[in-house]
């Protein structure tokens, strides 16, 4: 059955694509096998991550960028990650409105990812959704997130190109983005650049850049846009292409890929371990319930307990896996 | 040495308190032993979590509430969690400004927690900082967070009382808070309630409440405040006291405590496991580097790899720990 789904997905069936993403998003039975089956078909898409504060105009910018790219006819996938919502259901509603906007263009596929109920996991499911889109033959994938939580930062960091979107004149209280997000930008966009204060934002970015040095020695350009009017979209696409060309020229594509997978492996392992921890906590005749009671009664301290449990993991998990054949272990 | 630190902390030494929090925040050597030593002295403080969108006036509200409580002379601790920052260093700067405001009142201790560089962990370090404050003899601890990321939601959920702060008239785009945050509120505050739109926010909360039912059958009250003018602060303190009295009357204090520890144990175990995973990934002669290369070259799929590693964790970690003595295993 999963093979059929893979075949249909590969042949461009949009419903199969939607179903596959839902499967990985919900961690529904077979999600892991599905990703295994799809993995050989991945690695071809360009993945662009775009992030910024709420109200920075990300959706409009991404839509304009998609429209621009569509002139050359690539298959485009958009993943909009929106863990914040005005009360409830915001992401879904926004999704529907945007779908209407691109209605009739099967070359653009838009999908919203909202939060998962469990601890963490949003970064993983989003990157997995991008993997599905990649395998489905999408040439270009844009992942758009609100740059406020660690999850969201983790998501865009794993893109090939990271665009950070700022806006002038919103005041310090609102133009708050996650600490550390400035450092991951490959390209800065000052959107709504016709508003007052655009120069100030630019100066602040330049001041920050004068202090930092990047490992890859790339200086992130600043592109000014007015997304609602389509201003600066072509320039942004060019800046993205420039960075991709730079990565290629400096032989950094593979290196960046390896670094991303290092991070991803740790995250995936964390998620798998959390799942295991949960299973054990819920099982064993409610043993965790009793531990929790003992801690609440101050009969046991939780720090020693967790240490004891972790110490139980004596076997090196990694040593259970065959090492790469080429290099012998030192 | 750690004993000396504990003694000094217990005797009310503010510098020892600061050092102890820094130790747990940075996971500096001895952090775990320190928490073990402090645990017996905890469980006395009231812990109030307050969360809301950026710009909702949280800091002002918390400061006013602290001032109000200080009339009865309890020792107050405030932890301000601010993972967002205007570019960089925002949390620290805000901290300094607020410290000046309470300068001369040793009964209020304010501490900012910014983001940690690693994946996750902010919820853990914040709750640990609250544990240190609790052990230091603070009667009342307020934890204030921006309600935008999963981390922040996890933090306030572990408080005894959770206050969610909304504001009228900011527009849907800005009044975005993490999906699911409405559900964890024990008390709603509509701050800046003199602004237009306060009634609309109230109606929306009421509409949402008519759909949901809580396990503890408590109906979260809505308190209107104008924090900058001190309006509604007394009423908020009363609402908090009401909920605490309700929990006591219904014998829910212990139950809630056990539930919190259940969640915390899973989180702590996840953090400990992640630490282990990281160690192994970094060690072993850079084995993860080689795995990451193989995946980047598409020679190996990451999903099977992580499954194999997780399968290496065959021994049930929990079975390594002595079970509670009182009840025999089924």
Domain-wise residue ranges, chain B:
41-250, 258-320
A170 to A2, A173, A185, A200, B69: CA distances (angstroms): 48, 8, 20, 12, 34
Of A273-282, B120-129, B312-321, which gets the smallest average pLDDT?
A: B312-321
B residues 79-98 closer than 8 Å to A (CB): 83-88, 90-91
B66 contacts B201 by C-beta, under 8 angstroms: no
What is the per-residue pLDDT for B92? 45
A150/B324 CB distance under 8 A: no
What is the per-residue pLDDT for B184? 83
**What are the start-end ranges of the H helices in chain B?**
2-10, 14-25, 31-38, 58-70, 90-101, 122-135, 150-157, 198-211, 233-249, 253-296, 302-311
User: Is the confidence at residue A117, as pLDDT, over 80?
Assistant: no
Q: Is B210 on the interface with A (CB under 8 A)?
A: no
The segment with the largest mean pLDDT, out of A309-313, B101-105, B143-147, B173-177, is B143-147
Question: Average pLDDT of chain B?
Answer: 80
ipTM of the complex: 0.76
Query: Of A187, A239, A234, which Cα lies nearest the Cα of A209?
Result: A187
Question: Higher pLDDT residue, A7 or B99?
Answer: A7
B174/A54 CB distance under 8 A: yes
Q: Is A262 on the interface with B (CB under 8 A)?
A: yes
CA–CA gap between residue A302 and residue B272 (Å, rounded): 12
**Rounded to a whole number, what is the distance in Å from the CA of B140 to chain A's nearest CA?**
18
Q: Is A261 on the interface with B (CB under 8 A)?
A: yes
**Chain B residues with beta carbon closer than 8 angstroms to that of A91:** 179
Q: What DSSP string runs through A266-329?
A: HHHHHHHHHHHHHHHHHHHHHHHHHHHHHHHTTSS-HHHHHHHHHHT--S-GGGGSPPPSSSPP
A274/B273 CB distance under 8 A: yes
To probe the interface with B, which of A113, A188, A309, A328 has the most B CB atoms within 10 Å? Answer: A309
**Chain A residues with beta carbon closer than 8 angstroms to that of B259:** 292
What's the pLDDT tens digit per position in B124-153?
Answer: 888 899 999 999 999 999 999 876 666 677
CA dihedral of A35, A37, A43, A49, whole degrees rounded to 10: -20
A306 contacts B272 by C-beta, under 8 angstroms: yes
User: Is the confidence at residue B53, as pLDDT, over 80?
Assistant: no
Domain B41-250: what homologous superfamily?
P-loop containing nucleotide triphosphate hydrolases (3.40.50.300)
DSSP state, residue A330: -
What is the per-residue pLDDT for B232? 97
B113 contacts B79 by C-beta, under 8 angstroms: yes
The CATH class that applies to domain A40-250 reads alpha beta
Q: What mean pLDDT comes out for the span A11-26?
A: 91
Rg (CA), chain A: 22
What's the pLDDT tens digit per position in A56-85?
Answer: 888 899 999 999 999 999 999 999 886 654
Q: How would residue A327 be classed by pLDDT, with cut points 50, 70 and 90? A: very low
Query: Of A219, A218, A201, which Cα lies nearest the Cα of B87?
Result: A201
What is the per-residue pLDDT for B148? 63
Q: What DSSP string runs through B194-220?
A: TSTTHHHHHHHHHHHHHH---TT----
Q: What mean pLDDT comes out for the span A303-313?
A: 77
Q: How many residues are present in chain B?
A: 330
A residues 222-251 closer than 8 Å to B (CB): none
Q: How would residue B115 be classed by pLDDT, with cut points 50, 70 and 90? A: low
A residues 282-321 closer than 8 Å to B (CB): 284-285, 287-296, 298, 301-321
CA–CA gap between residue B245 and residue A156 (Å, rounded): 45
**Rounded to a whole number, what is the distance in Å from the CA of B15 to chain A's nearest CA?**
24
For A43, other C-beta atoms within 10 Å of its C-beta total 14
Long-range CB contact pairs, B254-257, < 8 A, 24+: B254/A296, B256/B160, B256/B216, B257/A296
């Amino acid at each position: 059955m999963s093979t059929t789904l893979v075949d249909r997905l590969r042949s461009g069936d949009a419903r199969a694509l939607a179903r596959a993403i839902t499967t990985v998003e919900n961690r529904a039975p077979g999600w892991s096998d599905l990703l295994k089956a799809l993995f050989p078909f991945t690695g071809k898409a360009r993945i662009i991550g775009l992030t910024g504060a709420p109200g920075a105009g990300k959706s409009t910018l991404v839509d304009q960028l998609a429209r621009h790219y569509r002139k050359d006819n690539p298959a485009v996938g958009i993943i909009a990650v929106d863990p914040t919502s005005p009360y409830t259901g915001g992401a879904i509603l926004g999704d529907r409105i945007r779908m209407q906007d691109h209605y009739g263009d099967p070359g653009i596929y838009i999908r919203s990812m909202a939060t998962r109920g469990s601890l963490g996991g949003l970064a993983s499911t989003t990157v997995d959704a991008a993997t599905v889109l990649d395998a489905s033959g999408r040439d270009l994938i844009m992942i758009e997130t609100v740059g406020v939580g660690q999850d969201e930062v983790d998501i865009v960091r794993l893109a090939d190109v990271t665009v950070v979107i700022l806006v002038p004149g919103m005041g310090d209280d609102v133009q708050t983005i996650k600490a550390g997000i400035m450092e991951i930008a490959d390209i800065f966009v000052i959107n709504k650049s016709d508003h007052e204060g655009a120069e100030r934002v630019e100066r602040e970015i330049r001041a920050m850049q004068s202090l930092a040095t990047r490992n890859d020695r790339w200086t992130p350009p600043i592109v000014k846009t007015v997304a609602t009017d389509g201003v600066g979209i072509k320039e942004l696409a060019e800046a993205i292409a420039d960075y991709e060309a730079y990565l290629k020229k400096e032989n950094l594509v593979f290196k960046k890929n390896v670094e991303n997978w290092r991070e991803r492996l740790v995250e995936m392992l964390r998620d798998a371990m959390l799942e295991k921890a949960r299973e054990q906590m819920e099982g064993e005749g409610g043993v965790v319930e009793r531990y929790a009671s003992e801690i609440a009664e101050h009969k046991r301290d939780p720090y020693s307990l967790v240490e004891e449990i972790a110490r139980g993991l004596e076997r090196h998990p990694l040593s259970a896996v065959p090492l790469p054949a080429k290099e012998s272990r030192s």
